[in-house]
Amino acid sequence: MDAMPLTDAEFRQFQSWIYKTAGINMSPAKKALVSGRLSKRLKHYQLPSYGDYFRLITQATEAAELQIAIDLLTTNETYFFREPKHFDFLRTQVLPLAQPGQPFRLWSAASSSGEEPYSLAMTLAEGLPSNSWEIVASDISSTMLGKARCGHYAMERAEHIPKALLAKYCLKGAGSQEGTFLIERSLRSRVRFMTINLNAAMPRLGEFDVIFLRNVMIYFNMETKREVVARMLPLLKRGGYFITSHSESLNGVTESLAVVEPSIYRKP
């Protein structure tokens, strides 16, 4: 049984729900994305319409399916060492000034399937060999975090990892695991993965020297951007850095940070 096409009224239900849940502002152009990503779930339950699926996930008894729907509608493309200038800035401008004996803490606040936090972990392991350091990696998608914790990727995902770091921190799969690689265990142990919804109250995380919030604010409207950043800034140390993607800006979002260069900000 094929489901009826997603109607405009049904799309508006999902549009309103994902905004309230995750702060994501879906334009009408995303209707095809919603339809495509959820169609398999309708087939799984043999539901005749997207409205029936919406009613299913909003029932109190369907928390697991609700999380699946969130995962499907919030998962975005990522890759290792994406926007490399940020890793260069961290390596050349931030880590050399880290205080000896002080633990260095970094938050990857939209970590998806782990490529960003593991890229950061390699950078910190190289730049702070004698310092203690920790990375907190968070995402709203529990499915993505599950993949991230495993640290197991198809070999083509290694394309942007510098060869020296690939050899040092990644284990090449053999036998049944051929064509894959695994992030080395001691590096994985330095990354703490957590489910965090940036549109809800922040858990107690402590303070950070650097916060990466990249490639997620493009899905927020201005009001949501202001609210999210206002929740996060108390967790950034004075003198700490707040880094967005090159396609994002904090112009009009906050006046509490000084621009260092485009997409890189510092807390006075």
Residues forming the active site = 37, 139
Alpha helices (runs of H) in the chain, residue ranges in sequence order: 8-22, 31-45, 50-57, 63-74, 84-89, 115-127, 142-150, 163-169, 185-188, 222-232
Tokens 């920790």 sit on residue: 134
3-state DSSP assignment of residue 56: helix
Return the SS3 of 239. strand
How many Å apart are CA 49 and CA 39, to the nearest integer? 10
CB 128 within 8 A of CB 90: no
Q: What are phi and psi of 207, to 5 degrees?
A: -100, 155
- Give all strands of the β-sheet with 170-172 in edge-to-edge order: 152-154, 180-183, 170-172
